[in-house]
Amino acid sequence: MSTKTVSDSKSAVVEHRDQLLSVFAKGEKPAERWRIGTEHEKFVYRLSDHRAPSYAEPGGIRDLLMALTEYGWEPVIEGGNVIALSGADGSVSLEPAGQLELSGAPLDNLHQTCAETGRHLEQVLKVGEKLGLGYLGLGLWPDKARADLPIMPKGRYAIMLNHMPRVGSMGLDMMLRTCTIQVNLDYSSEADMVQKFRVGLALQPLATALFANSPFLEGKPNGFLSYRSHIWSDTDPARTGMLPFVFEDGFGYERYADYALDVPMYFVYRDGRYIDAAGLSFRDFLNGELSVLPGEKPTIDDWNDHLSTAFPEVRLKSFLEMRGADGGPWNRICALPAFWVGLIYAQSSLDAAWDVVKHWTMEERETLRSSVPKLGLDAPIAGGRTLRHIAGEVLDIAHAGLAARARLDAGGSNETGFLDPLREIVRSGKTQAELLLDRYNGAWGGDVSRIYEEMRF
């Protein structure tokens, strides 16, 4: 989730609709300026007892953040608390229960992305040694109940935690018990955005299947391969899902803006604090009729904040966010951007990927999305097939896209090697979730606590 950037500057008041659309249009970039922004979250736990540390306890989350300042990170303060860090590698921020996230800088190639990931993980591991903390790359806390988890002192989270139970049964689980990997990618024009959005949305279930890594809940198998993905099915239907209108004729910036305007608000940020606007209408805000700020109209910053509170499988801001993957181990962090960059940053691969999915009906897409958390690669697609039948083909398309980019490291290797962990899943037929279940039912003897040693970073 986003961390508010503190700034003394004021953005323009929104007086007309074109200003809303300009946020999307300003994201347009020529291909040579396309970048890769990777976000990855991890669970933080005490090595001694596997407990999730609170913010303020000695050696807890606040101390973790402050220790990272030794590596050049600058604190971001909210309400007197350090709630994030900013630096050359992007930002380090906190999810609601203390999950630690790196929102990486926009980078030119995957070699840089993986180096950035390596720097971050080396830093947090060194700090963890001093503080007695470890880190798990999973999509879901494997053994924690909601009541076991602390709450971080961030204003927007207090509003969301209060609102979530009103609109779904699993919103608190999303906030407190999940981790993800995401990648943010660019587009050159409205038409390019549309094609990338459609391919990303249609193939997001394949990413969910390939990165499935959340098979345990409160110490036992939960019946799913990606329970994290299942949680989104009843988090808040007004701001989640597959967005059928994306595949309709005429989709573009205007239609997405209409969707976002109909997403209920969470908050407005004023003078260093979050004002609870949960459930209110941004359309009313545009008319100066927001009950919590009567007579006041939104700014572009307010619109950008609001865009960050919609949670579809693909999200549009001034870039596209691919949001379907569980958190995972080190090599999966680099594999996710490789998957999407390969598919949508070379036009030939983008066209080939669209050819794979363009004939699917909306009903078939929805069926796939709803079945993939439980079935993974065995989830059904059009023509009586499953994701397993197209996974290798889609990875071949991504491979060709990465090869065409020809971004080489110092040793002369291109970016295709970052797909190897996904190739192994297709070759073996087993996702990370299935491998974990095999261990649970075999060598672990039903003891899920073994995951802390075997799956820690």
E strand or H helix at 311, and its extent? strand 311-312
Q: Give the C-alpha distances (Å, rounded to integers) separating 41 from 72, 105, 337, 347.
A: 20, 15, 14, 30
b/e per residue 374-394 (b: at least 16 CB within 10 A)? bbbbebbbeeeebbbebbeeb
* Distance in angstroms (rounded) separating the CA atoms of residues 454 and 456: 6
Asked if 117 contacts 415 with a C-beta cutoff of 8 angstroms, the reply is: no
Q: What angle do CA 305, 315, 262 make, to 5 degrees?
A: 60
Residue at token pair 């380090």 = 92
Instruction: Pull the structure tokens for residue 311.
Output: 């949670």
Count of all residues that appear for the chain in the document: 457
* Distance in angstroms (rounded) separating the CA atoms of residues 165 and 264: 15
The pLDDT of residue 6 is: 47
The pLDDT of residue 3 is: 53
The pLDDT of residue 10 is: 79
Computed over its alpha carbons, how large is the radius of gyration of the chain? 21
Residue at token pair 């919609």 = 310
Residue 327's Cβ-side half-sphere holds a number of Cα atoms within 13 Å equal to 27
Instruction: Pull the structure tokens for residue 81.
Output: 């608390």
What's domain 17-263+310-454's architecture? 2-Layer Sandwich (3.30)
* Distance in angstroms (rounded) separating the CA atoms of residues 427 and 333: 20
Phi, psi of 168 (to 5 degrees): -175, 165
Strand partners, 39: 103, 182
Q: Based on DSSP, count helices (H) and strands (E) in the chain, helices before strands.
A: 17, 17
The pLDDT of residue 324 is: 97
Of 247, 256, 190, 191, nearest to 17 by C-alpha is: 256
Asked if 219 contacts 148 with a C-beta cutoff of 8 angstroms, the reply is: no
Asked if 192 contacts 376 with a C-beta cutoff of 8 angstroms, the reply is: no
E strand spans, 327-417 = 380-381, 385-386
pLDDT, tens digit only, all 457 positions of the chain: 555 544 445 799 999 999 999 999 999 999 999 999 999 999 999 999 999 999 999 999 999 999 999 999 999 999 999 999 999 999 999 999 999 999 999 999 999 999 999 999 999 999 999 999 999 999 999 999 999 999 999 999 999 999 999 999 999 999 999 999 999 999 999 999 999 999 999 999 999 999 999 999 999 999 999 999 999 999 999 999 999 999 999 999 999 999 999 999 999 999 999 999 999 999 999 999 999 999 999 999 999 999 999 999 999 999 999 999 999 999 999 999 999 999 999 999 999 999 999 999 999 999 999 999 999 999 999 899 999 999 999 999 999 999 999 999 999 999 999 999 999 999 999 999 999 999 999 999 999 999 999 999 9
Helix (H, G, I), strand (E, B) or coil at 139: coil
Q: Give the C-alpha distances (Å, rounded to integers) separating 331 from 137, 190, 227, 398.
A: 10, 33, 21, 17
